[in-house]
Amino acid sequence: MSLAGMRCLVTGAGGFLGQRIVCQLLEEEESLAEVRGLDKAVSSEALQNFGKVKTKTLLTIMQGDIRNEAFLHKAVQGVSLVIHAASIIDTVGLVDKQMLWDVNVRGTQLLLETCLRNDVPYFIYTSSIEVTGPNNRGDPIYDGNEDTVYQITEGFHYGNSKKEAEKFVLGMDNQPLKDGNSFVTCALRPMYIYGEGSPFFLNHLDESILNNRVFLRISRKEALVNPVYVGNVAWAHIQVAKAMRDPTKVKQIRGHFYYISDDTPHLSYSDLNYELTKELGFGIEAKQAMPLMMLYCYAFLLEIVSFLLQPFVRFVPTVTCHLLTMLNTPFSFSYRKAQRDFGYMPRYKWEEAKQHTSQWVAKITPLRTASLKTHTV
Structure-derived torsion over alpha carbons of residues 95, 99, 100, 102, reported in degrees to the nearest 10: -170
What is the structure's pLDDT at 361? 97
228 CB burial (10 A radius; 0-12, 13-18, 19+): buried
Q: Is the pLDDT of residue 373 over 80?
A: no
Q: What is the pLDDT of residues 115-161, one digit of tens each?
A: 999 999 999 999 999 999 999 899 999 999 999 999 887 768 899 99
Give the model confidence (pLDDT) of 328-355 as tens digits: 999 999 999 999 999 999 999 999 999 9
Model pLDDT, residue 346? 97
Contacts of 250 (CB under 8 A, 6+ apart): 184, 243, 244
Orientation angle between helical segments 199-210 and 269-277, nearest 10 degrees = 70
113, with CB counted inside 10 A (0-12, 13-18, 19+), is middle
Higher pLDDT, 161 or 373: 161
> So which residues are the catalytic ones?
158
In angstroms, the first-to-last Cα distance of the chain is: 57
Instruction: Indicate whether 376 pLDDT > 90.
Output: no
Q: Which amino acid is at 295?
A: L
Contacts of 275 (CB under 8 A, 6+ apart): 265, 267, 354
Domains, the chain: 7-198+227-263+332-348 (3.40.50.720)
> Would you call 59 helix, strand, or coil by DSSP?
strand
- The pLDDT, as a whole number, for residue 252 is 94
Judged by average pLDDT, the poorest of 111-120, 217-226, 238-247, 368-377 is: 368-377
pLDDT of amino acid 223: 97
What is the length of the chain?
Answer: 377
> What DSSP letter does each residue of 82-93 carry, written as one string?
EEE------SSS
Q: Which residue has the higher pLDDT, 373 or 104?
A: 104
Identity of residue 255: G
pLDDT digits (tens, 9 = 90+) for 68-111: 999 999 999 999 999 999 999 888 777 888 999 999 999 999 99
Could you tell me the pLDDT band of residue 374, with boundaries at 50, 70 and 90?
confident
Percent of the chain scored above 70 by pLDDT?
A: 99
- Please state which of the ranges 79-83, 117-121, 179-183, 224-228 shows the lowest mean pLDDT: 179-183
User: Mean pLDDT, the chain, as a whole number?
Assistant: 93
Q: How far apart are CA 144 and CA 38, in angstroms?
A: 33
DSSP string, 81-140: EEEE------SSS-S-HHHHIIIIIIHHHHHHHHHHHTT--EEEEE--GGGT---TT---
Q: Render pLDDT for 271-309 as a digit per residue (tens, 0 to 9).
A: 999 999 999 999 999 998 889 999 999 999 998 998 888
